[in-house]
């Protein structure tokens, strides 16, 4: 699992998640997202097209980051979910509390 964060010209940060977000990877992922939110971008988008797996421990990281974003008035969205990851978001109800967009372009448009 790794996550790289890039800042777009529009003031939106994009965190690209790669690999497996299991229990062992969740703490580092959460820290990276919290750091990205603390930098006060206009919005943070989690780009998930290379994210193969997420468990409840991984969802916790999404939840903590989304909450911090909301508290800090930073926009927040996830995009590009693979079918398995999408299923976890839907079964958990997370797709109702986190803005899920089809791809990065859609996410940037929604947060503009």
Report if residue 40 touches another protein, rule: CB under 8 A. Answer: no
Q: Which of 84, 102, 105, 112 binds another protein (CB under 8 A)?
A: 84
Which is closer to another protein, CB of 8 or CB of 82?
82
Burial class (CB in 10 A: 0-12, 13-18, 19+), 91: exposed
Q: What ranges make up the beta strands (E) of the chain?
A: 2-7, 12-21, 43-54, 75-79, 99-101
**Per CB under 8 A, 24 contacts another protein:** yes
Q: Is 91 in the site for another protein (CB under 8 A)?
A: yes
User: Binding residues for another protein, per CB under 8 A?
Assistant: 22-24, 53, 55-57, 59-60, 63, 66-67, 70, 83-84, 87-88, 91-93, 96-98
């Amino acid at each position: 699992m790794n996550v790289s964060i890039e800042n777009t010209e529009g003031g939106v940060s994009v965190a690209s998640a790669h690999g497996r977000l299991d229990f062992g990877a969740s703490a580092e992922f959460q820290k990276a997202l919290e750091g990205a939110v603390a930098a006060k971008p206009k919005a943070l988008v989690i780009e998930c097209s290379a994210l193969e797996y997420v468990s409840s421990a991984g969802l916790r990281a999404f939840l903590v980051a989304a909450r911090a974003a909301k508290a800090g008035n930073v926009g927040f969205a996830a995009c590009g979910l693979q079918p398995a990851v999408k299923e976890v978001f839907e079964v958990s109800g997370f797709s109702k509390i986190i803005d899920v967009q089809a791809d990065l372009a859609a996410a940037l448009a929604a947060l503009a």
